[in-house]
Chains A and B, each alone.
Chain A
Amino acid sequence: GEDVEQSLFLSVREGDSSVINCTYTDSSSTYLYWYKQEPGAGLQLLTYIFSNMDMKQDQRLTVLLNKKDKHLSLRIADTQTGDSAIYFCAESPMDTGRRALTFGSGTRLQVQP
């Protein structure tokens, strides 16, 4: 079955760049997503990338996809204290009959002032 893995924790200083990594196993994935979860809140969609793309940039966010290695990364430029949260990557299956997102365990980003 599908599996998505992330490192559990990342600590950076305010103003630095953060890079959160994710690996997945399902080669038939169509879209790969990044969600942000702040304490006690739901999931906020940050960005997504289609599996035939290598890179997507959206303001401070850059997503890189290495389809050969099944590796996804999210780079946050000029990281701010408000970026402190848990970041989840998720993959969407090709099979539209299933539609269930498979999530990684989440990476807790701590931004130190």
Chain B
Amino acid sequence: EAGVTQSPTHLIKTRGQQATLRCSPISGHTSVYWYQQALGLGLQFLLWYDEGEERNRGNFPPRFSGRQFPNYSSELNVNALELEDSALYLCASSHGQGSTDTQYFGPGTRLTVL
């Protein structure tokens, strides 16, 4: 069974540009989560999508947004990039049912903002 996949592996942008990161969940999973792992800040929850809807959002500004497609894949968009947005962005997926919902992570997209 294929795991969570993310693309691209690396992304280099300049300040003010927009970045789009993509995630494909494990087959059968309907929930997708995005986390940011920035140096010195640890892993922080960004967004949770389930059945095409945004269900929960972390403490991030509105320029971090995303969507989930009918095939349950997801995009994370970061507008007006700032230097502090440089981080590893991790996507996870789960079955989307109940509180016992184990999240499985992809390899991440490393975003560098110059």
Contact = CB atoms under 8 A, between A and B. Distances in A.
A99 B105 contact: no
Interface string A77-105: 00000000000101011111111111111
Contact of A44 (B6, B55, B98, B105): B105
A90 B58 CA distance: 16
A73 interface: no
B34 to A, nearest CB: 10
Interface stretch (B14-22, B42-50, B61-69, B77-85): B42-50
Given A100-B56, A103-B42, A45 B33 contact: no
Contact of A42 (B42, B56, B105): B105
Interface string B27-61: 00001010100000011010010000001101000
Interface residues of A, number: 28
A99 B98 contact: no
B103 interface: yes
A96 B33 CA distance: 14
A99 B100 contact: no
Given A35-B105, A42-B106, A88-B43, A96 B99 contact: yes
Contacts of A43: 43, 90, 92, 105
Interface of A: 30-31, 33, 35, 41-45, 48, 50, 88, 90, 92-106
